[in-house]
Chain A
Amino acid sequence: MATSLSGQVVNLLAAFLLLLAFAMLSQRRVLTLIHLFAWQGAALAASTLIVAYSTGQGHLYFSAALTVVLKVMLIPWVLHRLIDRLYVRWDIETLINIPTTMLIGIGLAIFAFALAAPISQMASTVTRSTLGIAMASILLSFLMMIVRRKAVPQVIGFLAMENGLFFAATSATYGMPLVVELGVALDVLVGTFIFGIFFFHIREQFDSLDIEHMEKLKED
């Protein structure tokens, strides 16, 4: 009973995660995007925690704690500081065609479920049905990175992709070995800081954070 209840909660959280991925795809405000990202981290941490509790996998507690510290607190805080100091807090992105993007997103989600179906049948974990969702949120973040023309949303897309990957790891295998998870977390953290440094360099050179200014290097 406990397992099935926790299984249902995990499924609910997974659905929440997918919903958030779609919300991020359509969100134009930078500030709201950061909030959504923090919520996604929270959903990820909660589902990891429940999986840890219901299966007794000790290292997953650690992984959940790591997610909370890194993805709910530290990285959103860094991003908040960044958009404050870059004066882009109230930026609204124009130019993205939301209905088309959403339609492509739905197509990607269906594709992800089809791709994950044979694999999730093989999984022995309680959370196996969520592998499709994990894959869908990875692809949706990918799409988000492609359609965005500003630096900060692109980076948030990248971080959301990392969330999807962590979710895939917990849903398919109860999490990667600890040393790998720590390494990945370190890379993500260092990556965020480097992105931050980059924003300032880009702004200094181009006076804006539009990626459109950076399409000079092309084959002619």
Chain B
Amino acid sequence: MEIALVLVIPVAGAMLLALVGHKRWAPEANAMMSLVTFGAAALLTGRVIAEGPMVALDEQFFVDPFNVFLVALTAFVAFTTALFSRPYMRIEEHHGRVNPARLRLYHSMYQLFSFTMLLCLLSNNVGVLWVALEGATLTTVLLVSLYRTPASLEAAWKYFILCSVGIAQALFGTILLYFAAEKVLGPGGTSLLWTHLYEVRHELEPTVLSLAFVFLLVGYGTKVGLVPLHNWLPDAHAEGPTPISAVLSGLLLNVALYAVVRSKVLVDGSLERNFSGGLMMGFGLLSVVVAAFFLSRQKDIKRMFAYSSVEHMGIMTFAFGMGGPVAAFAGLLHMTVHSLTKSAIFFTVGHASQTTGTQNMDSIRGLIQQSPTIGWGLALGSLAILGMPPFGVFTSEFMVLTTAMHEHSWATPFLLVALGVAFAAIFGKVQPMVFGETVALRLPHPPALVPVFVHLAIVLLLGLYIPPYLVDWYRQAAALIG
């Protein structure tokens, strides 16, 4: 019942906003629909905590500790981003960058995007998961090109072609998975249901599954933004409207990684050696290192934080690749704190580039003088994402590093160097942007910075004290995927 609510509300929201998305009150309606979705997700979470995992609607949907926390996180970030998008899009309209017709498209697609994300997470059918993830590309591609500038069109085209081609590989992987499953479970609808696959994972044909995993990793990995498949990511983040950058970084990448991890669990059951883990560690480490070195070369503020997302997705992929309860716990925690922190950063970055009228970091100066909340939000967010204690990112990165030292000590120097380089690059660029003499102008609408500080407060809290039910929850999920 709750599952149906979580999925139906965003669809209803998309339909409603397709009709009235250009009205004056549409941003509020968008936030309202997202709030109701979040409420339904909270109900669902409560029920799963009380009653344990469940399947619903002819086994097509399922909830277990792993996906329920992502559902809650996705609905929450979608809601806070909708709050941020209210003043942001009004200011963009004031600056003449969007017109009412595009706002209608924007609001409607925003809801549809939430729907595809939640469908991905809740679907028990790995085929439907693929369909929903491709749907997520389709809903966001016209939003990346919302401003219709040459650069934004190029970014959107790249995003569309690369992600569609990438995800076509994942479809081939899914076909191979079905091919292996069909031998054990028989033909028909149930052979692609994850819960069924999970039960028979030890009987699946290893050669087929290892080939399938390669295709699935390349396919979904394109959407995660793993190097060398990350080319679309910085462009799409930099050229689209900032709320979209925030949900791409905070939600889409997580959900794509979720798909990879789900596939890994099946392959690990079938194969004796740690084939999938090795691949994921390799891709993860490469992403961390390459992205860290690209950070210092960036001039565009949104591009820089997009590369930072590549780096952090690399850390998570590496953590899930190592496997084991501690690394998986760290990976899940990092998913949570990264998505909260990175979306908070994009909220402040969005307003910062609006007050200064540019995304070029050399021209953004003295944010604190103009607006202390924007300036401090950016400064604190950057410190959090760089892994400064006491923020939660420190906790998860520390756990990843210590596990790596124990189990794969060769990888630790790479990780440490990359984290150091990333620190120098981001800190060195954020510091002059927030302090000093200002060039910024007042915004025509008051910015929405409550979501920024709510996110950062949660990240801080997770760094100091993780509530016991959350620990329990992460542990159960980690046991499932470790």
Contacts and interface: CB of A to CB of B under 8 A. Distances in A.
A183 B128 contact: yes
B128 A191 contact: no
Interface in A147-192: 151, 154, 158, 161-162, 165, 168-169, 172-174, 176-180, 183-184, 186-187, 190-191
Contacts of A202: 153, 157
Contacts of B294: 219
B135 interface: yes
Given A180-B192, A219-B294, A154 B172 contact: no
B151 A216 contact: yes
Interface stretch (B173-181, B367-375, B467-475): B173-181
- Of the candidates B131, B141, B238, the one having the most CB atoms from chain A within 10 angstroms of its own CB is B131
B175 A217 contact: no
Contacts of B276: none
Contacts of A217: 151, 154-155, 158, 235, 238-239
Contacts of A187: 131, 134-135, 138
Contact of B191 (A145, A177, A214, A216): A177
Contacts of B132: 183
A183 B131 contact: yes
B442 interface: no
B160 A194 contact: yes
A154 B179 CA distance: 30
A206 B149 CA distance: 10
A205 B168 contact: no
Contacts of B202: none
Interface stretch (A22-30, A95-103, A114-122): A114-122
A86 B207 CA distance: 47
B393 to A, nearest CB: 26
Nearest to B168: A161
B453 to A, nearest CB: 33
A177 B158 CA distance: 31
B207 A118 contact: yes
B188 interface: yes
B211 A201 contact: no
Given A158-B164, A177-B188, A201-B145, A122 B205 contact: yes
Contact of B138 (A191, A204, A214): A191
Interface in B161-215: 161, 164-165, 168, 171-172, 174-176, 178-179, 182-183, 187-189, 191-192, 205, 207-208, 211
Contacts of A172: 175-176, 179
B168 A165 contact: yes
A219 B296 CA distance: 12
B27 to A, nearest CB: 24
Contact of B154 (A123, A176, A216): A216
Size category of the binding interface on chain A: 35 or more
A177 B127 contact: yes
B148 interface: yes
A205 B148 contact: yes
A144 to B, nearest CB: 11
B229 interface: no
Nearest to B190: A177
A16 interface: no
Contacts of B157: 151, 198, 202, 211, 214
Contacts of A135: 172
Contacts of B172: 135, 138, 165, 168
Nearest to A119: B208
B297 interface: yes
Contacts of A183: 127-128, 130-132
A191 B164 contact: yes
A142 B166 CA distance: 10
A36 to B, nearest CB: 19
Interface string B115-155: 00000000001011011101100100110010011110111
Contacts of B142: 194, 197
Contact of A174 (B148, B160, B187): B187
Given A173-B178, A180-B131, A202-B153, 15 more contacts: A123-B179, A142-B165, A165-B168, A173-B182, A178-B189, A179-B125, A180-B127, A180-B192, A186-B131, A194-B141, A198-B153, A214-B150, A214-B158, A217-B239, A220-B297
For the complex of A and B, 6 pairs with smallest distance between CB atoms: A180-B127, A183-B131, A214-B154, A177-B189, A187-B134, A172-B179
19 contacts: A119-B211, A138-B168, A142-B165, A154-B161, A172-B175, A176-B174, A179-B189, A180-B131, A183-B127, A186-B131, A187-B131, A187-B135, A187-B138, A190-B135, A191-B138, A198-B156, A198-B160, A206-B150, A220-B297
Interface of A: 57, 115, 118-119, 122-124, 135, 138, 142, 145, 151, 154, 158, 161-162, 165, 168-169, 172-174, 176-180, 183-184, 186-187, 190-191, 194-195, 197-198, 201-202, 204-206, 211, 213-217, 219-220
